[in-house]
């Protein structure tokens, strides 16, 4: 079983990479041709990723350690899916779906604000 | 071969030579101690600048995120997102305030150590012990129980170093190190852990900010601009230079590591790599890295 510290660091690393990708010119230009609803969804996803980074960063392992370990497999699958999706930033729908899947798992570990989308 | 006259001279002057040698050793102990106290003061005075820069980067990164999303949000959604982010940033600020207090208390200690060595008067260091050091263990526990950049600070603390006070001839210094050498070693280990976590977070936030401010314009101007600006090659050079700037933040980590290992060497009366002068230079360089 992976330690809570490691699980948390790996999850944060995936979220940070996603944050950077979602502000990149390649991502923003891929959204330019998308319908407004997709662009709105992308904006919310970016904010939810930021909230998850701050919430996980401020969270205490004493409080979330057990929950991280209970969700280890789902976190691993979610991270792997997101890493795969981020290799193709032009496919906005896949990236957003993979981000949402990981955020769903993270929401079982730390309290995230309800999605706006 | 020496005659009796020589032997008498040696016997007469030997105690004086020993005494002079001992005085020189005390002076050397005092000089080394003063150098370390000065290095400690400079280091601990640098920490608040690093902390302030860390928080500034976090707020700037968060503000960029909110700005990028603003156009797609209703007024109610903007208000909600701003309040959520402010709440998280406020929690981060409170943790950083504790770290700043920790560095200030350590600074008081090093200033008192300098007074002890300067004047031989131990009143200042006793007062520092009463006022500052007595607060450190409680504060250390509070900080170590928290986390920053996803890392539990207590979990990063290096195991307690086995320390034996070296053969100092300056008796006041020897007593002081025997009494509080271990306490200060633990506090410097905590500083080391804090710096490691802060640097990781600063590198990430600075990288994100650079993507938006420096990397994206290079892409957008080349791909989408009607006419490529004359300054485009300069912007491109700047884009690659930012990667080196992020890497240079690692020097903050190294300075904290050196401060900790140098204290152990000082207590045990061992030399440190490159000497104290080089150590002070490293710390001055650290200020340049964060642009203070």
Tens of pLDDT, residue by residue over B26-53, are 677 788 888 888 888 888 888 898 899 9
Q: Are the C-beta atoms of B92 and A57 separated by less than 8 Å? A: yes
Is B179 among the domain residues? yes
Q: In this predicted structure, what is the pLDDT of residue B259?
A: 86
Specify the 3-state DSSP secondary structure of B256.
helix
Is B238 among the domain residues? yes
Count of structural domains within chain B: 1
The interaxial angle of helices A36-58 and B4-70, nearest 10 deg, is: 150
Q: In this predicted structure, what is the pLDDT of residue A107?
A: 93
Q: Does residue B129 surpass a pLDDT of 80?
A: no
Q: Does residue B285 surpass a pLDDT of 60?
A: yes
| Token code pair at residue B247 | 């890497």
What is the pLDDT confidence band of residue B8, given thresholds at 50, 70 and 90? low
Neighbours of B49 (CB within 10 A): 14
Q: In this predicted structure, what is the pLDDT of residue A87?
A: 93
Q: Tell me whether residues A12 and B150 touch, CB distance under 8 A.
A: yes
Compute the C-alpha angle B132/B113/B42, nearest 5°: 85
| Token code pair at residue B98 | 């504790």
Which position has the higher pLDDT, B289 or B164?
A: B164
Q: Which of A7, A14, A19, A47 to probe by mutation at the B interface, max B CB count within 10 Å? A: A47
Summarize pLDDT for A41-61 with one digit per residue, the tens.
999 999 999 999 988 887 777
* Residues on chain B touching A61 (C-beta within 8 angstroms): 147, 152, 155
CB of A32 within 8 Å of a chain B CB? The answer is no
pTM: 0.80
Compute the C-alpha angle B195/B141/B57, nearest 5°: 30
Q: Tell me whether residues A29 and B149 touch, CB distance under 8 A.
A: no
The alpha carbons of chain B give a radius of gyration, in whole angstroms, of 26
Alpha carbon B71 to its chain centroid, in Å, reads 41
Q: Does residue B17 surpass a pLDDT of 60?
A: no
Is B265 among the domain residues? yes
Give dist(CA B195, CA B191) in Å, integer. Answer: 6
Q: Residue B233: give the domain boundaries.
A: 26-289
Q: Tell me whether residues B150 and A24 touch, CB distance under 8 A.
A: no
Q: In this predicted structure, what is the pLDDT of residue A58?
A: 76
Burial class (CB in 10 A: 0-12, 13-18, 19+), A92: buried
Provide mean pLDDT across the span B202-225.
Answer: 88
Q: Tell me whether residues B151 and A16 touch, CB distance under 8 A.
A: no
Give the dihedral of Cα atoms A110, A56, B215, B79; nearest 10 deg. 60
- Kind and range of the H or E run holding B148: strand B147-148
Is B170 among the domain residues? yes
Q: In this predicted structure, what is the pLDDT of residue B190?
A: 83
* Residues on chain A touching B149 (C-beta within 8 angstroms): 12, 57
Q: Does residue A94 surpass a pLDDT of 90?
A: yes
Q: In this predicted structure, what is the pLDDT of residue B89?
A: 93
- Locate the chain A residue with the closest alpha carbon to B66: A47
Q: In this predicted structure, what is the pLDDT of residue A115?
A: 57
Q: Are the C-beta atoms of A64 and A109 separated by less than 8 Å? A: yes
- Our CA-based measurement puts residue B198 at a distance from the nearest CA of chain A, in whole angstroms, of 11
Q: In this predicted structure, what is the pLDDT of residue B82?
A: 94
- Encode burial over A48-73: b for 16+ CB neighbours within 10 A, e otherwise: bbbbbbbbbbbbebeebbeebbebbe
Q: What is the predicted ipTM?
A: 0.82
CB of A5 within 8 Å of a chain B CB? The answer is yes
Is B4 among the domain residues? no
* Residues on chain B touching A29 (C-beta within 8 angstroms): 219-220, 223-224
CB of B243 within 8 Å of a chain A CB? The answer is no
Phi, psi of A3 (to 5 degrees): -70, 150
CB of A23 within 8 Å of a chain B CB? The answer is yes
What is the pLDDT confidence band of residue A116, given thresholds at 50, 70 and 90? very low
Q: Tell me whether residues B150 and A56 touch, CB distance under 8 A.
A: yes
Asked whether the CA dihedral B266, B270, B274, B276 is positive or negative, the reply is positive
Provide mean pLDDT across the span B87-107.
Answer: 87
């Amino acid at each position: 079983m992976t330690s809570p510290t490691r699980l948390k660091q790996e999850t944060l690393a995936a979220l940070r990479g996603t944050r950077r990708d979602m502000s990149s010119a390649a991502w923003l230009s891929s959204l330019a041709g998308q319908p407004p609803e997709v662009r709105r969804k992308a904006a919310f996803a970016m904010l939810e990723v930021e909230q998850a980074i701050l919430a996980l960063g401020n969270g205490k392992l004493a409080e979330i350690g057990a929950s991280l370990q209970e969700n280890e497999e789902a976190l691993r699958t979610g991270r792997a899916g997101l890493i795969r999706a981020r290799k193709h930033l032009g496919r906005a729908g896949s990236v957003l779906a993979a981000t949402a899947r990981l955020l769903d798992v993270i929401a079982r570990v730390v309290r995230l604000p309800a999605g706006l989308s | 071969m020496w005659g009796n006259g020589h032997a008498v001279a040696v016997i007469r002057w030997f105690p004086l030579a020993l005494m002079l040698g001992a005085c020189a050793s005390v002076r050397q102990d005092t000089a080394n101690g003063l150098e370390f106290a000065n290095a400690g003061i400079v280091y601990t005075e640098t920490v608040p600048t690093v902390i302030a820069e860390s928080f500034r980067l976090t707020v700037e990164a968060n503000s960029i995120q909110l700005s990028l999303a603003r156009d797609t949000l209703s007024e109610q959604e903007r208000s909600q997102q701003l309040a959520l982010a402010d709440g998280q940033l406020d929690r981060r600020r409170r943790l950083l305030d504790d770290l700043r207090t920790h560095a200030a208390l350590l600074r008081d200690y090093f200033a008192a150590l300098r007074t002890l060595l300067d004047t031989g008067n131990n009143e200042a260091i006793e007062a520092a012990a009463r006022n500052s050091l007595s607060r450190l263990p409680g504060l250390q526990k509070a900080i170590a129980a928290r986390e920053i950049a996803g890392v539990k600070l207590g979990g990063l603390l290096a195991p307690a170093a086995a320390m034996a006070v070296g053969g100092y001839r300056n008796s006041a210094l020897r007593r002081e190190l025997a009494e509080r050498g271990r306490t200060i070693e633990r506090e410097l280990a905590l500083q080391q852990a804090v710096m490691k976590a802060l640097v990781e977070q600063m590198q990430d936030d600075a990288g994100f900010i650079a993507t938006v401010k420096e990397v994206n314009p290079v892409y957008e101007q080349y791909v989408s601009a009607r006419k490529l600006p004359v300054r485009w090659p300069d912007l491109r050079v700047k884009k690659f230079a930012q990667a080196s700037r992020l890497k240079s933040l690692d020097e903050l980590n190294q300075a904290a590591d050196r401060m900790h290992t140098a204290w152990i060497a000082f207590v045990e009366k061992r030399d440190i790599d490159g000497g104290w002068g080089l150590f002070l230079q490293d710390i001055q360089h650290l200020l340049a890295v964060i642009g203070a």
